[in-house]
């Protein structure tokens, strides 16, 4: 829809005023899409006496992009207010809001801060575009160990079952959830989500914002969703028995169900379901994979210094966790330390990587689940079957120079 932009005010003045926007939803999406593609930092939509001008700020320059009539502008303004969750009937006071936008195709999450200012007879819109790192929405870039990534991709091939993500607060679960969804082409499947709230609008995915305050919760949402002929269902969180039961039923009727549970480890997730009074045989039949994850500080790649740990109190501790997952003993492993350079001194807080534990739930765990075993017993068996725990993953990532052993020991 947008092909040209100009810096030249005279060219802009000669431009026709657009009066034929038949699809304001598509127009809005295209406008944001265009701004992001040319790396504009702000979109200014400015009403004047005869028309409304739309221009982008790119570096220091303003680029004129479009000129629309005031009738078209009322539609655009209403659309922006809906997207940013602002009051449509408010015209006389400034309003601030946020739009969660995701780029068509790449799903790059974009935060757009919207500011509305009343000016004579109208409201002026300025939108600040804040980009995030699109590469993060890719399973291959989430720093899974190869052995874990293979387990996940194998499970996704079957296109049914239930996959749960165990998450303590602030563990970056939405990145993992959406990366898993992105593994599927939404044009080949009916992908439907129940979210609270919907943070980013993703093209071709049917996203529903549940509203527990009006009785539309995850459970009632799930009941409706299964009647919508879905292939893949993502439920933001399982908090109660009813939602858990419905999610399991959906998985057992040939849907792929993705969800999250607030627990600290993969094995604790199974115990949590047992404690919700879910029939153990249902858990064993529906649940296929549990991914548990946390975030850990990443070591600065510019200033990191190799060193070996001499203190037996620490090496013994590391060895007890590693338990021969890698052949070396802790005293022989090269770990890394921060040396603080301007790069990390200013920006270290941005740097986090995921550490994971991926538990495949197969018939070898059936007896334990049917006997309602504790999380410890399940974890013990899972380790025998080759599961790498979060601690082990963190130690491996310390030994490969991605994080530090100090950060890893903080997890205990």
Residues lying near Zn ion in the complex (CB under 5 A) are found at 300, 302-303, 341, 343-344
Residue with tokens 């100090």: 406
Q: For the CB of residue 345, give the shortest distance to Zn ion in the complex, in Å.
A: 7
Backbone angles phi, psi at 272, to 5 degrees: -60, -40
Q: How far is the CB of 301 from Zn ion (least distance, A)?
A: 8
- Nearest partner of 200 among 222, 175, 228, judged by Cα: 175
Please identify, using beta-carbon distances, which residue of 280 and 401 lies nearer to Zn ion.
Answer: 401
Shortest Cβ distance from residue 303 to Zn ion (Å)? 3
User: Considering beta carbons, is residue 14 or 302 the nearer one to Zn ion?
Assistant: 302
Residues, the chain: 412
For β-strands 109-119 and 122-131, DSSP reports them as antiparallel
Q: How far is the CB of 307 from Zn ion (least distance, A)?
A: 15
Contact in structure between 133 and 114 (CB atoms under 8 Å): no
Q: Which helix (H) or strand (E) holds 23?
A: none
390 three-class SS: helix
Question: In the bound complex, what is the minimum distance in angstroms from residue 297's beta carbon to Zn ion?
Answer: 12
- Single out the residue of 8, 39, 4 nearest to residue 18, CA to CA: 4
313 vs 346 by CB, closer to Zn ion: 346
In the complex, minimum distance from the CB of residue 329 to Zn ion, in angstroms, rounded to a whole number: 29
Helix/strand/coil for 407: helix
346 — alpha (psi -120 to 50), left (phi > 0) or beta?
alpha
Q: Which residue lies nearer to Zn ion by CB, 147 or 341?
A: 341
Q: Which is nearer to Zn ion, 281 or 307 (CB)?
A: 307
Minimum distance, C-beta of residue 407 to Zn ion, in the bound complex (Å): 14
Cα distance between residue 229 and residue 231, in whole Å: 7
Nearer to Zn ion, 328 or 343 (CB): 343
- Closest Cα to residue 53, out of 66, 72, 36? 66
Cβ 410 to Zn ion shortest distance, Å: 19
- The smaller minimum CB distance to Zn ion, of residues 41 and 400, is found at 400
CA distance 101 to 107: 9
Question: Of the two residues 253 and 301, which places its CB atom closer to Zn ion in the complex?
Answer: 301
Q: How many CA atoms lie within 13 A of 27 on its CB side?
A: 20
Would you say 121 and 50 are in contact if contact means Cβ atoms under 8 Å apart? no
């Amino acid at each position: 829809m947008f092909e040209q932009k100009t810096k030249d005010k005279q060219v802009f003045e000669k431009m026709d005023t657009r009066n034929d926007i038949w699809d304001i939803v598509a127009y809005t999406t295209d406008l944001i899409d265009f701004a992001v593609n040319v790396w504009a930092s702000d979109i200014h939509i400015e009403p004047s006496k005869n028309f409304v001008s739309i221009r982008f700020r790119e570096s220091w320059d303003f680029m004129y992009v479009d000129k629309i009539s005031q009738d078209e502008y009322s539609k655009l303004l209403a659309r922006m207010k809906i997207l940013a969750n602002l009051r449509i009937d408010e015209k006389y006071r400034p309003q601030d809001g946020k739009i969660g936008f995701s780029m068509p195709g790449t799903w790059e999450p974009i935060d757009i801060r919207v500011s509305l200012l009343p000016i004579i007879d109208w409201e002026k819109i300025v939108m600040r575009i804040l980009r995030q790192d699109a590469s993060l929405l890719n399973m291959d870039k989430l720093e899974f160990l190869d052995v874990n990534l293979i387990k996940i991709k194998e499970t996704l091939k079957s296109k049914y079952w239930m996959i749960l993500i165990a998450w303590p607060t602030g563990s970056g679960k939405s990145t993992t959830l959406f990366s898993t969804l992105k593994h599927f082409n939404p044009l080949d499947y009916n992908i439907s989500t129940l979210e609270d709230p919907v943070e980013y609008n993703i093209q071709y995915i049917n996203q529903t914002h549940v509203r527990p305050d009006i009785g539309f919760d995850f459970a009632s949402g799930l009941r409706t969703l299964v009647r919508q002929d879905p292939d893949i269902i993502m439920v933001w969180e399982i908090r109660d028995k009813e939602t858990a039961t419905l999610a399991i039923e959906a998985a057992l009727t040939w849907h792929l169900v993705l969800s999250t549970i607030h627990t600290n480890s993969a094995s604790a997730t199974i115990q949590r379901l047992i404690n919700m009074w879910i029939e153990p045989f249902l858990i064993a039949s529906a649940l296929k994979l549990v991914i548990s994850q946390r975030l850990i500080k990443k070591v600065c790649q510019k200033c990191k210094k190799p060193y070996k740990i001499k203190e037996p109190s620490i090496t013994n501790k590391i060895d007890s966790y590693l338990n021969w997952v890698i052949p070396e003993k802790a005293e022989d492993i090269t770990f890394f330390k921060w040396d603080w350079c301007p790069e990390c001194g200013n920006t270290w807080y941005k740097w986090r990587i995921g550490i994971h534990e991926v538990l495949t739930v197969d018939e070898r765990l059936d007896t334990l689940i049917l006997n309602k075993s504790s999380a410890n017993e399940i974890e013990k068996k899972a380790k025998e079957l080759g599961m790498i725990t979060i601690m082990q993953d963190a130690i491996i990532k310390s030994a490969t120079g991605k994080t530090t052993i100090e950060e890893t020991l903080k997890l205990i």
